[in-house]
Structure 1
Amino acid sequence: MRRKPRILTVLLLSNLVLLGLPLGGLWLLRLYESALVRQTETELVAQAAVLAAAFRLEWRGPEAAPTPRAPLAPRPAGLDLARDPVRPLAPAAQPGPPPEPRAAAAGARLGPVLVETQRITLAGIRLLDRQGVVVATSREELGLSLAAMEEVQAALAGRATSSLRARRVDADQPRGAASLSRGAALRVVVTQPVEEAGQVIGAVLLSRTPPGIDQTIYNNRHAFGGLALALLLAAGLLAAFTAYAVSRPIQAVTARARAVAAGQRQPPGRVRRSAVREADELSAAIQAMAATLEQRADYIRGFATEVSHEFKTPLAGLRGALELLQDHAASMAPAERDRFLAQAAGDVDRLDRLVRRLLELARAEAPLPQSPARCTLEPVVEAAAAPFPSLRWHLQNAEPAPPLAMPAEALRAALACLFENTLQHAGPGATCRLSWQAEEGWLALTVADDGRGISPGNAPRIFDRFFTTARETGGTGLGLTIARSRLEATGGSLTLLPDRPGAAFLLRLPRA
C-alpha cells in the first residue's frame, strides 16, 4: 500500500500532463517551423548548385576544354530558428564598377533562365561577378553592386553561407501572422561561390521566404485535425484514469460506509484495491471499523444473554421466597420463615456480587486513558493479598523484581482476582506460590496454588464470562475475565499454564 501514489501525486501528474499538452503542441509547431526553414534552405542550396554550374559553364564558353570531375561535397541544411540570429534587412544595392565582360556575357545568356526559374520557385536570384556586381537577376538590380552584404563577401571569399534576414513587409500586410517563433517575417538567404581552376569567378545569391505556419497548417489541415482529436482523446483518457484512480474507490468506500451505518453485516472478503494509497487506507479503516462494530454488537448480544441468564436464577428464587412469605408468613414456623428469609438474603447477596463484578468488568474492558506509570512487584503483591487473610502466599525469588511499566492499581486488581479465585476453588488455607523471571522487555510472573487444579474439559472455558465451578461458594465466573482484561489494558497478558499441579497462571508484565 505504501508504494502506491497519493491522491495529490495523481492530481499533480494529471495537471502537469494537461499543461504539457498545449506546451508540447507549441514546441512541436516551433520545431515544424524550423523544419520549414531548413526545407527552404535545402531547396535554395539545390538551385544555387545548379545555377553555379550553369554560370561556370557559360563563363568558360563552349570552346573550353572539359574540367575533371570534382570530388563529392554535399552541403546539408543547418539553419535553426532557435539558434541562428536573424539579421536585419539586407543593404540596398549600390552603384558599382562595370561588370567583368565574361561574367556579364554569361549573365546575359542566363537571365531568361532566372526569370523562368523564379516563376516556379518564387526565389529571388542574382548572379554576381567576382566584384559583387549583379550580372543576371530575376529582379531589377542588374548592374548594381551587392558587395556590402556579408553573405556576398563570404561567397566571394570562397565560403558558401546560409542565413536568416528580416523581410520588408508592406504596411497593409499583417506582421507576424505567419511566424510563431519570430515577431517579423523572415527570408532565407543562401550564397554559393562559383569557382574555376581554384579561383572565385562569381557567386550565386538566392533568397526566399519560407512557407508560413498558417499556410502549412491549412494545407495539412486534415493531419492537424487528427492531431487535435488525438490530444482531446488523450485528455479524455487522462480524466477517465483520474476518475478510475480517485473517484471510483471513494464511491466504493462511501457505499460500504453507508451499508455499515444501515446496520448491514459486511462480508469478510478482500476489498477491491484502488490505484491510490489514501483510498486503500480509507477502505481498510472502514473495513476495520465495520469489523469492530460487528464484534461490539456480537459482544453486547452475548453479554445481554449471559447477564439475563445469571440474573434470572437469583431473581426467580427471590421472587418465590417473597411470594411464600407474603402468602404464608403468618402460618409459618419461625424456623421455616427464617430459612426463606435467609434464602432471599443469599439471592440479594449474589445479585450484589454480580453487579459489583459487572462494574469491575466494564471498567477493565473499557479503561480510562492513563499517563505512563511505574510500580514495584513486591508491595503490590502484599496489597493484593491483604483482603484475604486466610490465604497463605510467598514470593519465591529472593532478589527484588525489576520495576514494571504499569499502574499499581491494575496489577493489584488482577492479582486480587486470582487470589480470590484460589480461595473459592482451593478453599481456606490454600497456598499460593509466586515466582518471576526477567525477560527482554517483560517480567514473566507465575502464580500457582495447591488446589485440585483445572480439568482438561474446563480449561478452554475458564476465561469465558460467567463460567464457574464454584457457584455455591459465591463464584460469579467473572474473576479471571476481569484479571485478564486488567492486564491487557496495560499491555500485559494472562494465560493458563497447562500440565501443572493445581492451577497455574502466567502473567506477562511490561518492564519499565
Structure 2
Amino acid sequence: MAGLRRKWRPSLGFVLGGGLTGTLVLSLLGLIALRYLGPEIGFRSAAGLLAVLIGCATGVLGYLMVRLLLRPISALASYSSAVEQGQPAEPPDHFGTQELSRLAGSVLSMADTLQRREASIRVFADHVIHELKTPVTAIRAAGELLTEADALTDQDRTLLHQILGASDQMQMQLAALNRVAQARVPEHHGTSTIAGLAHKMRTSFPELDISVEGCERTLPLASSGLWIVLNQLLDNARRHGAGRVALTAEAERLIIQDDGPGISDWNRDHIFNPFFTTARERGGTGMGLTIVANLMNAHGGHIALIPSDRGTQFEIRFPDE
C-alpha cells in the first residue's frame, strides 16, 4: 500500500466534475460548431461529422470513468466476495481515485485482520484440543486398568465409574469444540436439496418418522454443510423424545418441526449458548446448536427458534442470492 500511495490519483470529485463538465462542454461546442460549419459544408454533413467527433470524445470520457471508477469497484467487490467464501484471491492492483484507494486500503486491512483473527481462534482451539486429549486419554486408560483390580471396594468402584464418566464427557466436549471450530470456516459453499439427503437422514435416524415438503427446492448451502445442520437438529429431536420431524423447504428458508416436549421459556434464551444442554445425562454436550449457528453465520444465514403450538420449531434463513 505504501507504493500505491506514492502514485498520483485524482480525487473522486475531480473525476465526476470533469466528466460532467466534459459532457456539457462537448454539447456546447457541438452547437457552436454546427452553427458555423452548417452553412459551409451543409447542415447534414456538419451534423454527421460532429456526431462522430462527439461520439469519440464521449468514448474517451467513458473509458476514463470505467478505468477510474467501475473497474476498481468491481475488482474490490470480487476480492471481497472471494475472501467471504474462503477462496484464494489476489488483492486489486488498481484503485482509481484517492477515495477508492483509501476505501480499498481499509477493506484489505479489514480482510487481513479478520483472516488472522479467525486463524488465531482456530489455532487456539486446535492447541487446546491437542493438549487436553492426551491427559484425558491417559485418565481413561488408567481408569480402565483399575476396573480390573480385585481389591476395590464398592465405594472405590463408584468413584472409578464417576471418573470414567467424566473422562467420556471431556472427550465429547473436545470433539464438539473441534466441530465448532470447523463450522466457523466457510467451506460449504454451493447448493443442495433435501432430497439428496433424505435417505441418509432416515438411515441415520430410523427411530424418527421424517417427512419432507419441498424436497427438490434448491438451497444455497452445499450438501456437506446442510448435513451438519440437519444431523444436529435431528439428533436434538431424538435426544429430547421426539417421534416425528417435519422438514419444509420454502423460498430462502427451511422449517424443522418436531413433536417433542418443546423448550421452556427460560431455556429458549440459552439454547444457542455454548455448552448449554438439558440432556447431559443422555450424552448431550451443549454444542450442537452452537455448531449449527456458527455454520449458518459463516455462510451468511441464520437459525432461530420460533413459536410453535407443539414441540420445537426452528427456522433457518438462507442469504439472498
Relative to the length of structure 1, the TM-score reads 0.37
Query: Structure 1 residues 284 and 379 mapped into 2: Cα distance closer, same or farther (>3 Å)?
Result: closer
1:394 partner letter: S
Q: Deviations over 1:109-168 (max 9, x none)?
A: xxxxxxxxxxxxxxxxxxxxxxxxxxxxxxxxxxxxxxxxxxxxxxxxxxxxxxxxxxxx
Match of 1:472 among 267, 281, 290: 281
Q: Deviations over 1:246-295 (max 9, x none)?
A: xxxxxxxxxxxxxxxxxxxxxxxxxxxx9744134424654675577678
Residue 9 (structure 1) aligns with: 10
The answer (yes or no) to whether the contact 2:10–2:98 under 8 Å persists in 1 is: no
1:278-427 map, 5 Å: 278-283=101-106, 285-286=108-109, 331-333=151-153, 335-336=154-155, 338-368=157-187, 373-395=190-212, 397=213, 400-424=215-239, 426-427=240-241
The answer (yes or no) to whether the contact 2:303–2:317 under 8 Å persists in 1 is: yes
- Taking the aligned partners of 1:473 and 1:382, their CA distance within structure 2 comes to 26
- Taking the aligned partners of 1:369 and 1:435, their CA distance within structure 2 comes to 21
- Taking the aligned partners of 2:99 and 2:248, their CA distance within structure 1 comes to 52
2:315 aligned counterpart, secondary structure: strand
Give the aligned length.
Answer: 226
- Taking the aligned partners of 1:402 and 1:410, their CA distance within structure 2 comes to 16
Higher helix share: 2
1:365 partner letter: R
1:501 aligns with 2:310: yes
Residue 301 of structure 1 deviates from its aligned partner by 12
Query: Structure 1 residues 455 and 435 mapped into 2: Cα distance closer, same or farther (>3 Å)?
Result: same
2:204 aligned counterpart, secondary structure: coil
- Taking the aligned partners of 1:390 and 1:464, their CA distance within structure 2 comes to 27
- Taking the aligned partners of 1:382 and 1:451, their CA distance within structure 2 comes to 22
Query: Structure 1 residues 494 and 369 mapped into 2: Cα distance closer, same or farther (>3 Å)?
Result: closer
- Taking the aligned partners of 1:408 and 1:284, their CA distance within structure 2 comes to 31
- Taking the aligned partners of 1:376 and 1:275, their CA distance within structure 2 comes to 46
Query: Structure 1 residues 357 and 389 mapped into 2: Cα distance closer, same or farther (>3 Å)?
Result: same
The answer (yes or no) to whether the contact 1:7–1:278 under 8 Å persists in 2 is: no
Residue 432 (structure 1) aligns with: 245
2:266 aligned counterpart, secondary structure: coil
Is there any run of 5+ residues in structure 2 with no aligned partner, and where? 1-6, 15-96
2:264 aligned counterpart, secondary structure: coil
- Taking the aligned partners of 1:303 and 1:445, their CA distance within structure 2 comes to 30
1:447 aligns with 2:270: no
Query: Structure 1 residues 348 and 487 mapped into 2: Cα distance closer, same or farther (>3 Å)?
Result: same
- Taking the aligned partners of 1:331 and 1:360, their CA distance within structure 2 comes to 41
Residue 381 of structure 1 deviates from its aligned partner by 3.4
Query: Structure 1 residues 485 and 8 mapped into 2: Cα distance closer, same or farther (>3 Å)?
Result: same
- Greater relative CO (CA pairs within 8 A, separation 6+): 2
2:285 partner letter: T
Relative to the length of structure 2, the TM-score reads 0.55
Query: Structure 1 residues 338 and 496 mapped into 2: Cα distance closer, same or farther (>3 Å)?
Result: same
1:413 partner letter: I
The answer (yes or no) to whether the contact 2:179–2:291 under 8 Å persists in 1 is: yes
1:461 aligns with 2:278: no
Match of 1:483 among 289, 292, 300: 292
Q: Deviations over 1:375-424 (max 9, x none)?
A: 221231331342222223222x3x65322343212111110000111122
**C-alpha RMSD over aligned residues:** 4.3
Residue 300 of structure 1 deviates from its aligned partner by 7.9
Higher strand share: 1
Work out the percentage of aligned pairs sharing the same amino acid: 28
The answer (yes or no) to whether the contact 1:393–1:434 under 8 Å persists in 2 is: yes
Is there any run of 5+ residues in structure 1 with no aligned partner, and where? 1-5, 14-273
After superposing on structure 2, the runs of 4+ consecutive aligned residues of structure 1 that deviate more than 6 Å are 291-297, 299-304
1:386 aligned counterpart, secondary structure: helix
The answer (yes or no) to whether the contact 2:276–2:285 under 8 Å persists in 1 is: yes
Q: Deviations over 1:338-390 (max 9, x none)?
A: 544433332332223223222222221114475xx442212313313422222
Residue 56 (structure 2) aligns with: none
Residue 331 of structure 1 deviates from its aligned partner by 3.7
Residue 151 (structure 1) aligns with: none
2:265 aligned counterpart, secondary structure: coil
Who wins on radius of gyration, i.e. which is larger?
1
1:423 aligned counterpart, secondary structure: helix
The answer (yes or no) to whether the contact 2:243–2:258 under 8 Å persists in 1 is: yes
Question: Is the deviation greater in 284-293 or in 386-395?
Answer: 284-293
